[in-house]
Structure 1
Amino acid sequence: MKTNLKFTVLTFLLLTITSCTGQSSKVDLLNENFPEAQQEVMETFGAIAQSLKDGDMDKLISFHAYGPKFTEFKNGERRNDDVANEEHERTVFGGVTEVVKFDANDLQVAVYGDVANVTFHSDFELKFGENLVVVNDQISLLFLKTLEGWKIVAEHHSPLNK
């Protein structure tokens, strides 16, 4: 009988310690700033902007982790997958003849270990020939740290109210 009681108490203590350890690691993910990872994500974000300015669509596409889990929302439309996103980005951004302005206002980079959420308000002015297009959206880019660096796994674009 005493052995069963000792076993029960020991099991309870181990479960309590394990659950407390699990909770503290989740709290750390929420509160830790991960400054090195933030810097890496910011460098990746800068390289994405540069690929747009250079008109290098292959480079732009290389910043995405396309696959069955990739998702995109934009313009209040239904979800896009990786194929639709790549087609859209190559078609739209491939048609840009000049990047007049490419500002990311209220930029926030929130890193949670190997995942980062980049949110900002776009203030883009893009020329397509003689036509100037202004893009003022709320944008979220979800990044995942891969063996090839930080890659976009989800995008969400919605118009910013004036």
Structure 2
Amino acid sequence: MKRFFLKSIPTLQYRCFQTFFFQKNPSTNMKYPLDKSDQEWRKELDPEQYRVLRNKGTELPGSGKYTNYFPEKGVFVCAACKELLYKADTKFESHCGWPAFYDNLPGKVKRIEDDSYGMRRTEVVCSNCGGHLGHVFKGEGYAVPTNERHCINSVSLDFHKEETNNK
């Protein structure tokens, strides 16, 4: 039955099906300085944070608490491990439905090529714990110094008014 089902799907649909159900995201198997078990993450994160940060989910557009929040000073940190990620002055209005930043703090975000769901994108994860933050898009024409948009899930972030320590 399984063979008949797979052969009956046209090639393009099958490739999308295969990508969606069988492709592993490379960041899942990487090691990070902060290494916790799945059980530990489940205890520390609320269900939505766990879904996004650990299972590479995406929050609904426009639903995040930081989407329309534009502080002049401070720093956005990883909601899982509190690693400093983005300065407040790099956040900009992109009208995409998620918080957008044009640059991260040096060495705080790891970029990983992401071919999931039949698309070619660049995933960004916290370089300390590997938590999924979102994706980076280049060349969209925003008037920002880097010509990049880091499209980040609010649930992956916390905000601190003052940059108290720079790990």
**Which is helix-richer, 1 or 2?**
1
- Whose radius of gyration is greater, 1 or 2? 1
More strand by share: 1
Is the shorter-chain TM-score for this pair beyond 0.5, marking a shared fold?
no
RCO higher in structure (CA 8 A, sep ≥6): 2
TM-score, reference length from structure 2: 0.31
